């Protein structure tokens, strides 16, 4: 019977990133993006993100500035919310929020014949503190942000657009990349709440350096 070497969590994470580096080989990423790409790969075990994760020119700098300025990170799922490191948020004086389970959001969605994801973005647009949006599940949330930005109702510091799935997922991402708003987007159908949280966590590590 094979005995596996069980190590402490920090050692496991360190070795995991070493393996990621070994597999990536000679791949070179911009210094401010390397940690983000590798953390997403670490979270998903999917090396496609080395090519699929795309950044607007000012995305990382804008996200870091917003975090250091004490912004609120808004997610479209409670799963993404729970995956964001609360300790590092506290160190930065930042916060996180998700409105998807709010009864008032559910009621507004019923009244307007839309989804809770749509209504949660509309609600989030009401506060200037909500500067980073991490969308990992609902393309309708990303589309709503697009509409709100075009209408001049919100100006996010950064939108993380990594919804996963098959209906309107690719289209919502491609559409959003037409805007001047800073973005980090996973092109194609891949993504997820875990990926959205991983990107926020990687940004916070950059901000805390």
User: What's the CATH code of the domain at 159?
Assistant: 3.40.50.10230
Task: Please indicate, yes or no, if residue 71 is contained in any of the structural domains.
Answer: yes
CB distance 99 to 124 below 8 Å? yes
Q: Mean pLDDT, the chain, as a whole number?
A: 95
Task: Please indicate, yes or no, if residue 202 is contained in any of the structural domains.
Answer: yes
Is 42 labeled as catalytic in the residue annotation? yes
Task: Please indicate, yes or no, if residue 55 is contained in any of the structural domains.
Answer: yes
183: helix, strand or coil: strand
Task: Please indicate, yes or no, if residue 189 is contained in any of the structural domains.
Answer: yes
pLDDT, tens only, 102-153 = 999 999 999 999 999 999 999 999 999 999 999 999 999 999 999 999 999 9
Q: 95 — phi, psi (to 5°)?
A: -145, 175
Q: How many domains does the chain fold into?
A: 1
Instruction: Pick the catalytic residue from 33, 42, 129, 189.
Output: 42
Task: Please indicate, yes or no, if residue 48 is contained in any of the structural domains.
Answer: yes
Q: Per-residue confidence at 82, pLDDT binned at 50, 70, 90?
A: very high
Task: Please indicate, yes or no, if residue 2 is contained in any of the structural domains.
Answer: no
Q: Which domain holds residue 203?
A: 10-207
Q: Residue 174 contacts by C-beta under 8 Å, 6 or more apart in sequence?
A: 187
CA count, 13 A, side-chain hemisphere, 49 = 26
**pLDDT for res 86:** 97
Q: Is the pLDDT of residue 6 over 90?
A: no
Q: What is the dihedral of CA 116, 200, 60, 26, to 10 degrees?
A: -120
Task: Please indicate, yes or no, if residue 178 is contained in any of the structural domains.
Answer: yes
Give the Cα separation of 80 and 193 in Å (integer). Answer: 5
**pLDDT for res 111:** 96
């Amino acid at each position: 019977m094979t005995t596996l070497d069980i190590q402490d969590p920090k050692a496991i994470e360190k070795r995991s990133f070493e393996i990621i580096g070994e597999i990536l080989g000679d791949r070179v990423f911009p210094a401010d993006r390397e940690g983000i790409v590798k953390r997403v790969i670490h979270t998903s075990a999917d090396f496609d993100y080395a090519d699929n994760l795309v950044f607007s020119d000012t995305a990382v700098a804008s996200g870091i500035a917003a975090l250091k300025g004490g912004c609120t990170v808004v997610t479209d799922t409670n799963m993404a919310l729970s995956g964001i490191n609360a300790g590092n948020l506290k160190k930065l004086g930042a916060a996180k929020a998700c409105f998807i389970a709010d009864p008032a959001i559910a009621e507004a969605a019923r009244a307007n014949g839309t989804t809770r994801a749509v209504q949660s973005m509309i609600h989030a647009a009401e506060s200037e503190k909500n500067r980073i949006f991490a969308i990992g599940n609902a393309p309708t949330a990303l589309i709503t942000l697009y509409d709100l930005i075009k209408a001049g109702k919100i100006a996010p510091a950064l939108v993380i657009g990594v919804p996963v799935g098959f209906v309107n997922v690719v289209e919502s991402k491609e559409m959003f990349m037409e805007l001047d708003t800073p973005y980090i987007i996973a092109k194609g159908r891949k993504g997820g709440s875990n990926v959205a949280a991983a990107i926020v966590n990687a940004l916070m590590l950059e901000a805390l350096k």
